[in-house]
Amino acid sequence: MTKNNRHLLIGFLLGLFLFISIPPVLSQINPITPPIQSAAQSITQGRTYYAAKEYQQAIHLWRQAAQRYETQGDTLHQAQALSYLSLAYQKLHHWTDADTAITASLNLLDTLAESTERSRLYAQALNHRGRLELALGRAESALATWKQATQTYQQLNDDIGVTGSLFNQAQAMEALGFYRRACQISLQAFQVDNHCNLSESGELDAAVNTFKQQSQPAFTVVGLRNLGNVLRLVGHWQESQTILHQALDLAKQIDSPSQQSATLLSLGKTQYAIYRQDKDLWERSNITQNRDNAKEWARAALNTYQQAATINTDSTTLPLEAQLHHLRLLIEFQQWLQTLAKTDKTANPAEFTSQIQSQVQTLLQSPLANLEDSKIAIYSQLSFAQTLLKLPQYDPNFSHALDYTQAALNQAQSLDNKRAESEALGTLAHIYEQNQNWSDAQDLTHQALGLAQSLNTEDLAYKWLWQSGRIYWQQQQKENAIHAYNTSINVLNSVRRNLLAINPGVQFSFLDDVRPIYQQFLEILLQPDANLDHLRQATRISEALQLAELEDFLRCSFTNLVPIDQNQNPPAAIIYPILLKNRLEVLIKLPQSESSPEKVYRYTPQVSAQDFSQTLYDLRQQLDDPRNPVDSLILPPAQKLYNWLLKSAQTDLPQTGTLVFVLDSTLQNLPIAILHDSQHYLVETYNIAISLGSQLPNLNPLSPTHWQGLLAGINKKAESYPPKLPALSSVWNELHQIHNTVPSQLLENEQFTQTNFRNQLINHPFSVIHLATHGEFSSDATQTVIYAWDKKIPVEKFGQLLQQRQQTRREPIQLLVLSACQTASGDRRAALGLAGVALRANASSTVASLWRVSDNSTAQLMDNFYQQLNQGIPKAEALANVQRKFINNPDNPSHKHPYYWAAFILAGNWF
């Protein structure tokens, strides 16, 4: 390392390294005045005191150095001393003094002629100014300052400087919520430029190893922790955990307690994120393994937070932050275990009660209430107040929450941190909301909202609008509540889609943070006195909820979809089963025609949400086996479901035509065709389509005179198949029968590789894609896969393949058929995976099966389906005709069993 780079590294270890770790708040130190010495000696000795966290002594020496350099007329080194002085003031949270010193340093440097040394010191001073700006909550200014520092280091060809300032930029982008950009900048610092796509993990591993070999250990710990943090924020949790473990091992090697504690805190946050993911998966799927995984990760995070809090460091705020995270998770985990205890005998929520009580008392007696004004002090106090509100409500908790929130508000106002002020006002309003002081709660909420809107911080605005809606509703101001909820959802959609664009990780827990707003709004709209406008709005909100859940599942947003009732081929009716907390609501929309305006009918069957869901689950369990008797095990629940969903609407429905069902994810496993009115299956009367996102990628009908198909399938035991999957022996017949009907290209067995599939998609204008291979739909996107010969293709990769096609070909995919796929057994929301594949494919329509059907009967069904299409029959009608043939075919009565025909559903457009 050159002398210049060694000097540069000292500056970064002063500014960057101590910046990224949590700034400590020290007890007052009586400085021992060092003897008078030269200015250069004062600079060096000040660094020693600073590294030892004796900031008062460092301040004394650097002041002395600045004065001596001024006397000597040495402007360059006077600026350096002032820059260092600002750092020490920042450590003591003397923000005004810190700002005065760094401003003076930069002003002095501006008077000097260009030189290498001047540029180096200027970049270092910019780093220190950015640090101050971020500490005060001015992330945009910090980002601009650090970008300027990066440019200066690039001009100097100083690799260490560039790397350090890129880490700083990532910190500012993270604070601004630009997580994807923060990830890209962090990887750029490691000389990886792949737009945060970690599909090629070897590239990241190699870059990390190179960085570890070329950098000083202390600097490496900071860089690895920075990378681990942003990887967590963009949803790369396993990679984040691996990187943070490496940083922790290195922090132990250099025997740095503060770095160990800070890295453990980051690791705990990553483990918490994995816990939340598995908890969401359990609540979506009810698969026991997801529940058990979530419990393991929660306990791992609790243990890691505890380690971070107990390491003996000179920092006050670092253990406080770890304790706050530990307490929040204790309460959250206990509350979840309480809900599990009804069915999970291993859940013991009482085990955490004493820990929670002890942790609350520890924090009440901690320095938390007396922290110097700073951004971290504000958010620590708000975090504690918000955590106290989750405890059973009693006077001490309310009083303490009020005190800490008021203290945070005072500090935010003192530092002129408007965002923090909005968060403090909103939290204060929530406290009054919980105490049913509606007037003060509404007034404070409006103040918080006003600040959020003035700052254009939509992630806060939607929360305060939601809060305002709840408060209006409690005061029986229905129209005001409706307006607030509607505006909140509009803002939330913008926020959510922006986050999905920049951050595919979980920034919102859909089940905790998004779905409740929609559900509460639907509860308000669907009151007994709901008018036609309320019912129309309820259909729109129901549609928006389904699309929001699909976007959350896929971690991407869709803005080019067309509402299902805005096309030239409207269905006979659009049906919205809406499962609310305690009841089922059914809305039926009859689209506008030349003879009548749009109509919306509402039905509220007498069934609880729990009974409806259980009946649906029972029916699905019986349909997987053709040996189950129809009359005793299948028809009774199918008739119950029909009665609840459609019996009351019989007189309002058209006599024939296509019914489109907009299904909540809890209902998407329902094979609608099997609903039974005690005489006939529903599909015997109507054509049926499912709108899994309520909106369509495009509205183009399938034209058999111009279609061309890509047929791909496997009839042997493929290399990619896990042991449990059998060969599909009838696939050859299925594909060749379709090939005789549809002009098509065949990929069979070893030809059906991921690469060949991609090349065919890109090079040919296929309008129909038919895949006869195993696949599984799951509520976990990582487990939603389609098997090619050589490897399984997850839904995300499948979407990428089809997106590559769209870049080279304009012809839309009119029909995607997945003839041997199935929904994951026992997963109540597994059809999310089916919907995800359909939406990712951007296909007009998708035909797929909800369970694995005999491949021999599937081959017959598919052959008949394509023959119908070849005659120009619309897709929903073609599928319905084939299902009717199975039901009424005297030549093969065994196929009358719903196992053989009810599994197949049509999602998307029906024409």
Q: What is the pLDDT of residues 175-226, one digit of tens each?
A: 887 777 888 888 888 888 766 766 555 778 888 888 888 788 888 999 999 9
Instruction: At 332, list the tokens.
Output: 């959250």
Assess whether pLDDT exceeds 80 at residue 394.
no
Number of residues in the chain: 911
Lowest mean pLDDT among 1-5, 156-160, 356-360, 577-581: 1-5
pLDDT, mean over the chain = 87
Higher pLDDT, 580 or 555: 580
The count of other CB atoms within 10 Å of the CB of residue 361 is 10
686 HSE (CA, 13 A, CB side): 26
Give yes or no for a contact between 844 and 700, defined as CB atoms under 8 angstroms apart. Answer: yes
**Rounded (10°) angle between helices 478-502 and 179-189:** 20
Instruction: At 550, list the tokens.
Output: 């699909």
Instruction: At 527, list the tokens.
Output: 């009151």
Instruction: At 476, list the tokens.
Output: 């029986």
Assess whether pLDDT exceeds 50 at residue 16.
no
Instruction: Look at residue 271 in the predicted model and tell me its pLDDT.
Output: 97
Please state, in angstroms and as integers, the Cα–Cα distance from residue 322 to each residue in 41, 267, 316, 405, following that order.
38, 11, 11, 19
What 3-state class would DSSP assign to 295?
helix
What 3-state class would DSSP assign to 741?
helix
Instruction: Look at residue 37 in the predicted model and tell me its pLDDT.
Output: 65
Distance of alpha carbon 6 from alpha carbon 284, whole angstroms: 54
The highest-confidence range among 179-183, 470-474, 568-572, 648-652, by mean pLDDT, is 470-474
Distance of alpha carbon 48 from alpha carbon 561, whole angstroms: 62
Q: Which residues pair with 562 in a beta bridge?
A: 696
Percent of the chain with pLDDT over 90: 61
The count of other CB atoms within 10 Å of the CB of residue 194 is 14
Percent of the chain with pLDDT over 70: 90
At 699, the pLDDT band (50, 70, 90 cuts) reads low
Instruction: Look at residue 562 in the predicted model and tell me its pLDDT.
Output: 67
Full 3-state SS string of 132-158: HHHHCCCHHHHHHHHHHHHHHHHHHCC
The count of other CB atoms within 10 Å of the CB of residue 324 is 24
The highest-confidence range among 92-96, 394-398, 422-426, by mean pLDDT, is 422-426
Please state, in angstroms and as integers, the Cα–Cα distance from residue 727 to each residue in 367, 627, 753, 850, following that order.
66, 22, 16, 19
- Listed as own residue / partner, the contacts of 109-115 with beta carbons closer than 8 Å and 24 or more positions apart are 109/76, 109/79, 111/75, 112/75, 112/76, 112/79
Give yes or no for a contact between 846 and 798, defined as CB atoms under 8 angstroms apart. Answer: no
Distance of alpha carbon 335 from alpha carbon 754, whole angstroms: 45
Give yes or no for a contact between 691 and 907, defined as CB atoms under 8 angstroms apart. Answer: yes
Q: Which tens digit of pLDDT belongs to each residue from 248-304? A: 999 999 999 999 999 999 999 999 999 998 998 898 888 899 999 999 999 999 999
Assess whether pLDDT exceeds 50 at residue 846.
yes
Instruction: Look at residue 792 in the predicted model and tell me its pLDDT.
Output: 92
Give yes or no for a contact between 54 and 29, defined as CB atoms under 8 angstroms apart. Answer: yes
User: Average pLDDT for residues 93-109, to the nearest whole number?
Assistant: 94
At 570, the pLDDT band (50, 70, 90 cuts) reads confident
At 484, the pLDDT band (50, 70, 90 cuts) reads very high
Query: Which residue is it, tokens 């369970």?
Result: 851
Surface-to-core class of residue 157, CB atoms within 10 Å of its CB (0-12 exposed, 13-18 middle, 19+ buried): exposed
Instruction: Look at residue 444 in the predicted model and tell me its pLDDT.
Output: 98
* Of 846, 734, 828, the residue nearest 786 (C-alpha): 846
Distance of alpha carbon 678 from alpha carbon 386, whole angstroms: 54
Residues 6 or more apart whose Cβ sits within 8 Å of residue 209:
none
Question: Biggest alpha carbon distance in the chain?
Answer: 108
Beta strand 785-787 pairing with 792-794: antiparallel
User: Average pLDDT for residues 523-529, to the nearest whole number?
Assistant: 96
At 560, the pLDDT band (50, 70, 90 cuts) reads low
**How would DSSP label each residue in 71-91?**
HHT-HHHHHHHHHHHHHHHHH
Give yes or no for a contact between 879 and 847, defined as CB atoms under 8 angstroms apart. Answer: yes
Q: What is the dihedral of CA 422, 452, 462, 232, to 10 degrees?
A: -80
Assess whether pLDDT exceeds 50 at residue 6.
no
What 3-state class would DSSP assign to 187?
helix
Give yes or no for a contact between 373 and 421, defined as CB atoms under 8 angstroms apart. Answer: no
Assess whether pLDDT exceeds 70 at residue 559.
no
Instruction: Look at residue 206 in the predicted model and tell me its pLDDT.
Output: 86
Q: Which tens digit of pLDDT belongs to each residue from 652-698? A: 999 999 999 998 877 888 899 999 999 999 999 999 998 855 556 55
Higher pLDDT, 764 or 596: 764
At 397, the pLDDT band (50, 70, 90 cuts) reads confident
Distance of alpha carbon 899 from alpha carbon 903, whole angstroms: 7
* Of 247, 222, 242, the residue nearest 231 (C-alpha): 242
Distance of alpha carbon 660 from alpha carbon 667, whole angstroms: 14
* Of 425, 402, 449, 411, the residue nearest 137 (C-alpha): 411
Distance of alpha carbon 230 from alpha carbon 528, whole angstroms: 48
Instruction: Look at residue 15 in the predicted model and tell me its pLDDT.
Output: 46
Higher pLDDT, 550 or 507: 550
The count of other CB atoms within 10 Å of the CB of residue 614 is 12
Instruction: Look at residue 198 in the predicted model and tell me its pLDDT.
Output: 67
Q: Which residues pair with 661 in a beta bridge?
A: 575, 690
Beta strand 845-849 pairing with 904-908: antiparallel
Lowest mean pLDDT among 140-144, 347-351, 505-509, 606-610: 505-509
The highest-confidence range among 316-320, 479-483, 581-585, by mean pLDDT, is 479-483
* Of 831, 498, 487, the residue nearest 672 (C-alpha): 831
Instruction: Look at residue 7 in the predicted model and tell me its pLDDT.
Output: 41
CA 800, 806, 811: angle at the middle one, nearest 5?
A: 140
User: Average pLDDT for residues 338-352, to the nearest whole number?
Assistant: 92
Instruction: Look at residue 124 in the predicted model and tell me its pLDDT.
Output: 93
Residues 6 or more apart whose Cβ sits within 8 Å of residue 331:
356, 387, 390, 391
Single-letter residue type at 275? Y
The count of other CB atoms within 10 Å of the CB of residue 342 is 8
Give yes or no for a contact between 786 and 792, defined as CB atoms under 8 angstroms apart. Answer: yes
Assess whether pLDDT exceeds 90 at residue 319.
yes
Lowest mean pLDDT among 18-32, 633-647, 763-777: 18-32
Instruction: Look at residue 126 in the predicted model and tell me its pLDDT.
Output: 96
Single-letter residue type at 213? Q
At 151, the pLDDT band (50, 70, 90 cuts) reads very high
Lowest mean pLDDT among 64-73, 287-296, 845-854: 845-854
Higher pLDDT, 295 or 459: 295
At 841, the pLDDT band (50, 70, 90 cuts) reads confident
Q: Which tens digit of pLDDT belongs to each residue from 703-758? A: 776 789 999 999 999 999 999 899 999 999 999 999 999 999 999 999 999 999 99
Please state, in angstroms and as integers, the Cα–Cα distance from residue 787 to each residue in 783, 797, 822, following that order.
12, 12, 12
Instruction: Look at residue 566 in the predicted model and tell me its pLDDT.
Output: 64
Please state, in angstroms and as integers, the Cα–Cα distance from residue 394 to each residue in 339, 435, 576, following that order.
22, 10, 42
Instruction: At 654, list the tokens.
Output: 């058209």
Query: Chain-centre distance of CA 774, in angstroms?
Result: 28
- Listed as own residue / partner, the contacts of 381-384 with beta carbons closer than 8 Å and 24 or more positions apart are 381/405, 381/407, 381/408, 381/411, 382/408, 382/420, 382/423, 382/424, 382/427, 383/324, 383/328, 384/324, 384/327
